Structure 1
Amino acid sequence: MRVPLSWLREYVDLPADVTARELATKLTLAGLEVETVDELGADLTGPVVFGRVLEIEELEGFKKPIRHCKVDVGQANGTGEPQEIVCGARNFSEGDLVVVVLPGGVLPGGFSIGARKTYGRMSAGMICSATELGLWEDHAGIVVLPEGFGAVGDDAIGPLGLREDVLDIAVTPDRGYALSMRGVARDTAALYGVELRDPAGLDVAAPTGEGHPATVDPAVCDRYVLRGVTGFDPDAPSPLWMKRRLAHSGVRPISLAVDVTNYVMLELGQPLHAWDRDRLKGALRVRRAAQGEKLETLDHVQRVLDTDDIVIADETGPVNIAGVMGGLTTEISLTSTSVLIEAGHFEAMHIARSSRRHQLSSESSRRFERGIDSAAQAVAATRAVELLAELGGARVEEAYTHIDESAAREPITLRATHPGDVAGVDYPEGTARTWLERIGCGVRGDAVLEVTPPTWRPDLTDPNDLAEEVIRFEGYENIPSIPPRAPAGRGLTPSQRLRRTLGRVLADTGYNEVLSYPFVGEADLDGLQLEEDDARRVSLRLANPLNEREPLLRTTLLPGLFKALARNVGRGFTDVALFEMGLVYRPEPGATRAPLLPVDRGPSAEELRQIDAAVPDQPRRVGAVLAGSAERAGWWGPGRPATWADAIQAARDIARTAGVELEVEADRHAPWHPGRCAALYVRVDGERLLVGHAGELHPRTVKAFALPERTCAMEVELDRIERARDGDTAPTVSTYPVATQDVALVVDESVPVGAVGDALAEGAGELLESVRLFDVYTGEQVGEGRKSAAFTLRFRAEDRTLTAEEAGAARDAAVALAAERTGAALRG
């Protein structure tokens, strides 16, 4: 809502020294967030004066009409002589009162005016249009002022309102009253403790008879007013003051009849609609639309209506979507002389749904769906017809239609101390009554108040709403800020510390963290090449998904990572390594839906059991995906592409950080390539536990997600890795030297190298510090179907320097166990 300060001052006697920015600060602290204060015309400098056109000479021989004018600007030019100005506009005549900017002036936008020769004549200044002055958008020509608007030579900046401070307020959905000058003025008057001149305080005479016939459905409209005028002059222009206020408020001036309805809407917050009454056929009915009815709206779109839409219909069918947009067949035209003004109070939720269904968000629907004054319809319609009579020469019909099916609001019981209890502040006695009465509530009682909210505040429905009103006017800034004191001895849990450490470790090894939406679709699961009976296809479906193509809660982190990788690659990043840490949702097959609990009692034991049974398992996982180069090429070397080994190493880094040994074994598991997939295990109480998979992705998955070729990925279940932890124990550090032994073993190609290494580690005994594979060889020297694996064994004792015999004996024991388990033989 844009609020011109000069318009606001008509209703509130603000102190003269209050600036727009001071008011903005005060309103923001009271809950009306002022986003900006626009200082319109701040870059405008004079002289800008009123002028009288004395002579017009038509210049010929040019591609467009050009006029050389002599304009009387009084003594503003210092000589009293007529000012010579060349102008291309055609909408003014000799004797007209216009606005002139003289040399030295600067128009909005930094447009400097000087004296120069153009079209063979001297031009000293400019005759201005509304657009050039920053009044409103109008390219039809220059501004022609009515007689008596100003004296020739006088400054025009003030009378035209060329400088104006406008507050731009971001109105929240619960404060629909603030979408009007009346609502903002009421809050302003309450904040400054001054009287409000309510623009809705008109004396509306009772109708002298029946107006235009109408009926309403009380379920969708509880108050409906129709007022008509005849003899309206469709050529009557909107006055400059009205057009200026509309433009400052962000509404484009159109014609007098339309401008009047928009002006009253901005002033009172009541949307109005104006019909050409001669185009209506018979009585009007406010009803729900019939399924499939059609209406061509003012934007020339044929719309198919729904039974949830409220329509205004005559004998021919719908002529309006109530509260949203009018129909084309009955719109006001440039020949309309009989105008019918409608003001209704429609059911807010119907308007909101219609606006979204038809994708028509109008100034009218914005107000209706937030809630308007349920008693302002007669006042708003009367104000509109009086303006049409005053400005357009119309005659107001004394008979009009006023249907009232509204019910009186019930009072709300409120303890006088309740606002203070909510804010944690001891407000003085009578504070609640004072503020509630200032905003228009009826208040009875002392310790316990019976508060009847006013009709213009439909958002006030319970004691906490009333408490909020008291608190915001007392000042949110006056509520003391006392941070809670954390109990001593509490900090991050071991799981939280592990997750933070893992994030740092993965970042240090070149991965960037991403956060994906936890929603997937069937197409994502198909892209993972999952079988129909795969447990990852058992997922929870959202009742109201953000995206109809992604209605499922994820059962794996991989789709989100793949999409993030594809976006990065699509934006030119060829070498990408990403990781994500988060929950997945794994419901049990056939799990029942959680029951809807009543609000008048606590849940029973059986209901709690049903809720627990419906909650899915939510394990925490870590996933990673990488493509391109793991080591970039440069002067230091050719670089190295990312492979399945890098994905497995990321899983190893996670396990190592958690203090767990990871066991790796070849496997077949979607979405990985069957020949380049590893299953990852940990041991818990002597039992092997599968924690995840890593490797190169299947080509079909790569194609489905538009990923680079040979993309690799890893996903592990962090909760299971944590179960395998023995605790945070520091490693033993020995000060004695290490003894290194190398061993090369020949085994069948089918034997996993990891199995050989595990056998060496177990056979070497307690003196072994580490086993590291440093070479794998296949070729003629080891024979067909055989391979050679070379390991480095490091031995160290905690209390002595090892002898060569001790290290050799440990090495021989390791080789013996490897030979026994894997058939390995020492390579000659």
Structure 2
Amino acid sequence: MRVPLSWLGEWVDLPDDVSLEHVHAALVSVGFEEEDVHLGEVTGPLVVGQVLELSPEPQKNGKTINWCQVAVGPDDVRGIVCGAHNFVVGDKVVVSLPGAVLPGPFPISARKTYGHVSDGMIASSRELGLGDEHDGILLLSSLGLDPEVGTDAVALLGLGEAAVEINVTPDRGYAFSIRGVAREYSHATGASFRDPADAVSPVAADGFPVEVVDEAPVRGAAAVTTFVTRTVRGIDAGRSTPPWMSARLRLAGVRSISLPVDITNYVMLELGQPIHGYDLARLDGGLTVRRAASGETLETLDGQKRTLDREDLVIADQTGPVGLAGVMGGARTEITSGTTDVLIEAATFDPVSIARSARRHKLPSEASRRFERGVDPQVSLAAAQRVLDLLVELAGGTIDSLGSTLDASTPPRSIVLPAGRAAQLIGVDYPDAEVADSLSAIGADVHPIDGGWSVTPPTWRPDLVDPASLVEEVARITGYDRIPSVLPVAPPGRGLTREQKLRRQVSSALAAAGLVEVAAYPFVGHEQNALFGSADGSPAPAVRLANPLDVAAPELRRSLVPGLLEIARRNASRGLVDLALFETGTVFLPESGRSYGTDTVPPGPQRPGDDLLAELEASLPPQPRHVAVLSLGQSVERQPGQPAVAASLADVLDDLRVAAHAAGAMLVFRQGSHVSLHPGRTAEILVDGQVVGYAGELLPRVAEALDLPRVVAVGELDLDAVLRSSAGEVQPTAISSFPAATQDLSLVVRVEVPAGDVLSAVRDGGGPLLESVRLVDDYRGAGLPEDSKSLTFALRFRADDRTLTAAEATEAKQGSVRLAGERFGAALRD
């Protein structure tokens, strides 16, 4: 929220020497984060000038310029070239003298042009940052101004204003207004606050039909709390917005559009109540607030035709929707320069409904930002009247008695705050009188009762719903600096669990191996869950979010791989094409035919019992922790004497071995299949005979759809399953001082026999003397039957108590040959 200081000073007393730093410090002390400062964009000499002479001069390019003599002060006449033609001799204008800087920044200097030295510039509204008008220069008479020649135009037009910007948290939507910020400045400094809503005297009106029809309420909440309409007739919509108003709007971050629209935006910023104006002549009958019909469309003020959802709340007349409630109005009833009669609407809508519509249509607006955080229902009437008063004052209108007032709001619920609760939660011994005074200061109605107070929050604070939120207000108003900084003492005998330690070891090992840890969003689309949620492509049930942040990602992930692929796609699109990534996180695996969730709400004051905890736990789907890795591009970059090495499935398998080794487990790989992975380049991963994951290279069509290189290797492990089967630590083995005996073994087996199974047989048959075995070659070709392959293993034998003879090593190798022959019909290769 941007807050111009002069505007703030209208409603709260500021010091004469107030500075931006002082205001920021005051607002920070009551819980607002400092964002930025905004200064007037016009600097240097900017004065009121009067045109004394005007000589049109046609140019060779077909353009006609005016060579003007302009008085800019007593005995100070400047020659200025101007290309506009909307002024005459005697008009008073704004002149930027050499040394001035206009928004852009656009520095002004004396320069030769069209055969003259132009000693300054006559400025238009757009050049001054006051609006979009650029067809001609700004005539001060059009603003109702007749200042003396030489008057400082910066002060005259409010171009020297300054503003502070603060970050407003979602629970404090009332601070999206000058009214709210002025009240908070008063809390921080004790300065006198004047409520701008109290400065308005609403006039009664009736006769305009308004109906609310809500057959599909969101969460059972009322769609509309208040709905006020008022009418003003005979306005001149073409009048210019006063400089003071356009300057304030600009500093507040709102573009000046037209006088009626600027007035509605001005009141929204001042009171926090979004306002919408309709061209009364374009409305057909009264207004109905309802949900959109299936297939209904609306062209919004931004010129986009939007297909509405049945949950969208719309404002409609007899012919259809004229606005997306709380988000944006419709183009059909837009106020234009020819509008004379205006219907003003000030309403409060269900915050959840407005937030969903704005997100659904990707249409954030200043109005929706306020509605989704909660708007004071009791300010609607004052806001509507404030707009009427400004339209009468600035646009020459007349207030009509046509209007309506719907008020279905209910008083805020009283909260019982026990005495001593603030001291208990905050750790400061607050006197009872200080607690009551603090809550009264924020606008709450505080009544003493036995053992505490009954507190009714003000209507602009819907976030105050329980004693804890009231205690937070006490701490905020009395000052956070009073809260002692005392670190709690950790109770003895606690620390990380075995699983937590092992998960950290896995992450540390992968990072040490050169992979980059990432954290992806847990929300994915249905297609991603279908592609990666099950290996065989069978229907995979997923947890669907009731209120997704993104309609394209409404489900909780069943796999970590989609998140890694999205991160890889984003990095590859920015030129980072050599990637080795990993993530550890939770996946969500609901079982088919089961419903999850519970209506049971745990009690707040005490710990739930074991039965309730068991019920809550049973209401959740299984949420195992997984670890996933991804490699693409080059695993070794090209350098002198070293060719580049492309990343492949082998890199991912090695990364998964690193992860398992850190957890004290050993992985076994065997040929597998996965619906999203390349046939023949996919491995199932086992621990103790149980499948715990998969690895492979993406199908080329899948990689292409994601704008990724052709070869992308991924792998994923059920980390919880690995930890359950692991010893929990790497077991050290003694190193023998006796030499090893090495031998090679080549076995011929059928092509379809997995090499990993043969390796297991060789290891099991080698007996206690076999120290290690590795597959070093897989040969298929001349000298072998077409349906056979030759697997060569490197064997290493060693004894702890003696040097092995060649005969002992050969005998142990023969044990491997025998077992491989029994299991798979393997034979020694000639």
Please give the range of the TM-score, normalised by the shorter of the 2 chains: 0.7 to 0.9
Q: CA shift at 1:575, angstroms? A: 5.2
Which one-letter code corresponds to 2:422 in the other structure?
P
How far has the Cα of 1:305 moved from its partner?
Answer: 6.5
Q: 1:632 to 1:383 in 2, by over 3 A?
A: closer
SS in 1 for 2:503: helix
Which of 470, 476, 484 is the equivalent residue of 2:488?
484
C-alpha spacing 1:331/1:615, structure 2 compared with 1 (3 Å): closer
**Structure 2 residue corresponding to 1:811, chosen from 792, 809, 812:** 809
Matches of 1:670 and 1:309, distance apart in 2: 38
Q: What is the CA distance between 1:14 and its match in structure 2?
A: 1.2
Q: Where does structure 1 lack aligned partners over 5 or more consecutive residues?
A: none
> Does structure 1 conserve the Cα–Cα contact (< 8 Å) formed by 2:765 and 2:816?
yes
Residue 380 of structure 1 deviates from its aligned partner by 3.1
User: Tell me, what secondary structure is at the counterpart of 1:18?
Assistant: coil
Q: Deviations over 1:299-339 (max 9, x none)?
A: 55666767766666666666555544445555444444444
Contact 2:763 2:816 in 1 (8 A): no
* Pairing 1:466–2:470 present: yes
Asked if structure 2 preserves the Cα contact closer than 8 Å seen for 1:442 and 1:451, the reply is yes
Q: Within 1, Cα distance between the matches of 2:254 and 2:728?
A: 68
The one of 288, 291, 304 equivalent to 2:293 is 291
1:103 aligns with 2:106: no
**Percent identity over paired residues:** 43
- 2: CA distance, partners of 1:177 / 1:453: 13
Q: Which residue is 1:84 aligned to? A: 79
Distance in 2 (CA, whole Å) between partners of 1:87 and 1:481 is 65
Counterpart residue number, 1:454? 458
Judged with a 3 Å threshold, the aligned counterparts in structure 2 of structure 1 residues 330 and 449 are, in CA distance, closer, same or farther, namely: same
CA 1:457–1:216: 2 relative to 1, 3 Å: farther
AA of the residue aligned to 1:138? E
Following superposition of structure 1 onto structure 2, how do residues 212-223 of structure 1 map, counting pairs within 5 Å? 212-217=207-212, 221=224, 223=226
Match of 1:722 in 2: 723
Work out the CA distance in 1 between the residues paired with 2:392 and 2:531. 69
Whether contact under 8 Å (1:594, 1:610) holds in the other structure is no
Give the drift of 1:5.
0.4
Residue 363 (structure 1) aligned with residue 366 (structure 2): yes
CA contact (8 A) 1:73 1:83 kept: yes
Task: Spell out, residue by residue over 1:735-780, the C-alpha distance to the aligned partner (whole angstroms, 9 max, x if none).
Answer: 73x3232334453334877677666666666565444566677888
Counterparts in 2 of 1:17 and 1:810: CA distance versus 1, 3 Å? farther
Aligned to 2:55: 57
Matched position secondary structure for 2:196: coil
Say which of 593, 596, 601 aligns to 2:599.
596
How far apart, in 2, do the equivalents of 1:667 and 1:402 lie?
Answer: 69
Q: Does 1:164 align with 2:161?
A: yes
Q: 1:179 aligns with which of 176, 180, 188?
A: 176
Give matches, 1:297-308, under 5 Å: 298-299=301-302
Contact 1:12 1:185 in 2 (8 A): yes
Q: Is the aligned partner of 1:731 residue 2:738?
A: no
Q: 1:94 aligns with which of 89, 93, 100?
A: 89
Aligned AA for 1:470? V
CA distance in 2, matches of 1:205, 1:614: 52
Which secondary structure state, in structure 1, belongs to the residue aligned with residue 796 of structure 2?
strand
User: Which residue does the alignment assign to 1:7?
Assistant: 7
> Which residue number in structure 2 is paired with residue 71 of structure 1?
70
Following the alignment from structure 1 to structure 2, what is the Cα–Cα distance between the partners of residues 309 and 229?
Answer: 29
What's the secondary structure of 2:166's corresponding residue? strand
Residue 133 of structure 1, aligned match among 117, 125, 128: 128
CA RMSD of aligned residues (A): 4.3
Aligned 1:410-809 pairs, distance under 5 A: 410-445=413-448, 448-488=452-492, 490-518=494-522, 523-524=527-528, 537=540, 539-545=542-548, 552-561=555-564, 576-597=579-600, 612-613=617-618, 615-627=620-632, 630-631=635-636, 634-638=639-643, 645-665=650-670, 679-683=684-688, 688-694=689-695, 712-726=713-727, 728=729, 731-734=732-735, 736=737, 738-750=738-750, 769-771=771-773, 787=790, 789=792, 791-797=794-800, 802-803=802-803, 806-808=804-806
Tell me, in whole angstroms, the C-alpha distance in 2 between the residues paired with 1:325 and 1:643. 51
CA contact (8 A) 2:200 2:385 kept: no
Cα 1:617–1:394 shift into 2, 3 Å? closer
Seen in structure 2, the aligned counterparts of structure 1 residues 118 and 539 have a Cα distance that, compared at 3 Å, is closer
Distance 2:714 2:310 in 1: 51
In structure 2, how many angstroms separate the alpha carbons of the residues matched to 1:669 and 1:326?
Answer: 50
C-alpha change, 1:605 and 1:243, in structure 2 (3 Å) is closer
Contact 2:762–2:820 (8 Å) recurs in 1 = no
TM norm structure 1: 0.83
Corresponding residue SS for 2:84 = coil
Q: Distance in 1 between matches of 2:237 and 2:76?
A: 40
Q: Between 708-717 and 17-26, report the one with greater CA deviation.
A: 708-717
Q: 2:132–2:257: 8 Å Cα contact kept in structure 1?
A: no
Q: Contact between 1:740 and 1:792, CA under 8 Å: does it hold in 2?
A: no
- The change in CA–CA distance for 1:762 and 1:739 in structure 2 (over 3 A counts) is farther
1:256 matched to 2:254: no
Distance 1:733 1:555 in 2: 42
Cα distance in 1, alignment partners of residues 544 and 769 from structure 2: 55
Normalised by the size of structure 2, how large is the TM-score? Answer: 0.83
1:309 and 1:753 mapped to 2: Cα distance? 60
Aligned partners of 2:533, 2:465: CA distance in 1, in Å? 54
On the 8 A contact 2:445/2:456 being kept in 1, the answer is: yes
In structure 2, the CA distance between the partners of 1:162 and 1:300, relative to structure 1 (3 Å rule), is closer
The structural deviation recorded for 1:19 is 1.0
- Secondary structure, aligned partner of 1:243: helix
Deviations 1:97-145 (A, max 9, x none): 2222333444444544333443233432222333333444431333322
Distance 2:584 2:659 in 1: 12
Supply the distance in 2 between the matched residues of 1:339 and 1:698 (Cα, whole angstroms).
61
Farther off after superposition, 748-757 or 477-486? 748-757
Secondary structure at the counterpart of residue 250 of structure 1: coil
| Paired amino acid for 1:288 | R
| 2:188 pairs with 1:191 | yes
Residue 271 of structure 1 corresponds to: 274
Query: What is the count of residue pairs matched by the alignment?
Result: 808
- Gapped runs of 5+ residues in structure 2? 214-221
Hey, what does 1:23 align to over in structure 2? 23
Q: CA deviation at 1:4?
A: 0.9
Secondary structure of the residue aligned to 2:10 is: coil
Instruction: Give the secondary-structure state (helix, strand or coil) at the position aligned to 1:370.
Output: coil
Structure 2: distance between partners of 1:544 and 1:642: 39
Matched residues in 2 for 1:344 and 1:788: separation? 79
Report the counterpart of residue 142 of structure 1 in structure 2: 137
- Within the alignment, does 1:388 sit opposite 2:391 as a pair? yes
For the 8 Å contact 1:212–1:226, the answer to whether it is kept is no
Q: Is residue 2:116 matched to residue 1:121?
A: yes
Change (3 A) 1:88 1:413: same
Deviations 1:575-633 (A, max 9, x none): 55444434444444443434432568998988766655554444444444445555555
What letter is aligned with 2:116? R
Partners of 1:3 and 1:121 in 2: CA distance: 43
> Is the Cα contact below 8 Å between 1:759 and 1:814 reproduced in 2?
no
Contact 1:591 1:614 in 2 (8 A): no
Deviations 1:234-266 (A, max 9, x none): 554433222322332233334433333333333
What is the DSSP-based 3-state SS (H/G/I as helix, E as strand, rest coil) of the residue aligned with 2:67?
Answer: strand
